[in-house]
């Protein structure tokens, strides 16, 4: 689908615009995908294979916990395995902040780049605190992505 024309009400959704492809995932609180969600995700990756103009992939999921790699059933492992098939893409995984030491962090924004896989992991959290951070993502006309943390 191209840009969505209605309000996002949750669940799984994909869309693209120009050179960007977006996957909105609905994982459970333990960062797991049920079989239907896995099939939707694989279908989204199959669709992505048919879009050679795509340069940037954004995977957005509130409960996807990329900061906890100890759980072998965490959906992040399946996603990262599948992303190996797309080494030419700039990938951005955007989630809520699940860092284990979240309560002691100065800010609730975190970003890490894995240079080997070309995946940028981004997290922020809004919970009614002075440490709340929103994430702003801008894409210029050449497809270059700029990410900012905004204090609220």
CA–CA distance, 98 with 60 (Å, rounded to integer): 14
Collapsing DSSP to helix, strand or coil, 150 comes out as strand
Residue 2: the pLDDT is 47
Residue 57: the pLDDT is 96
Residue 5: the pLDDT is 54
CA–CA distance, 148 with 117 (Å, rounded to integer): 21
Which residues of the chain fall below pLDDT 50?
1-2
Count the alpha carbons within 13 Å of 6 in the hemisphere toward its beta carbon: 4
Taking only the tens place, the pLDDT of each residue in 87-99 is: 999 999 988 766 5
Residue 1: the pLDDT is 47
Write out the DSSP string of 45-99: HHHHHT-TT--EEEEEETT--TT--S-TT-HHHHHHHHHTT-TTSEEEEEEE---
């Amino acid at each position: 689908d191209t840009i969505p024309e209605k309000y996002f009400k949750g669940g799984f959704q994909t869309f693209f615009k120009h050179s960007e492809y977006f996957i909105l995932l609905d994982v459970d609180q333990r960062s797991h995908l049920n079989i239907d969600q896995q099939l939707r995700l694989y279908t989204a990756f199959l669709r992505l294979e048919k879009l050679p103009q795509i340069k940037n992939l954004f995977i957005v999921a509130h409960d996807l916990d990329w900061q906890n790699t100890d759980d072998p059933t965490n959906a992040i492992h399946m996603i990262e395995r599948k992303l190996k098939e797309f080494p030419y893409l700039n990938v951005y995984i955007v989630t809520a902040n699940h860092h284990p030491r979240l309560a002691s962090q100065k800010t609730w924004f975190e970003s890490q780049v894995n240079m080997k896989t070309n995946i940028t992991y981004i997290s922020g959290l809004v919970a009614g605190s002075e440490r709340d951070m929103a994430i702003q993502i801008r894409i210029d006309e050449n497809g270059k992505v700029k990410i900012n943390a905004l204090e609220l």
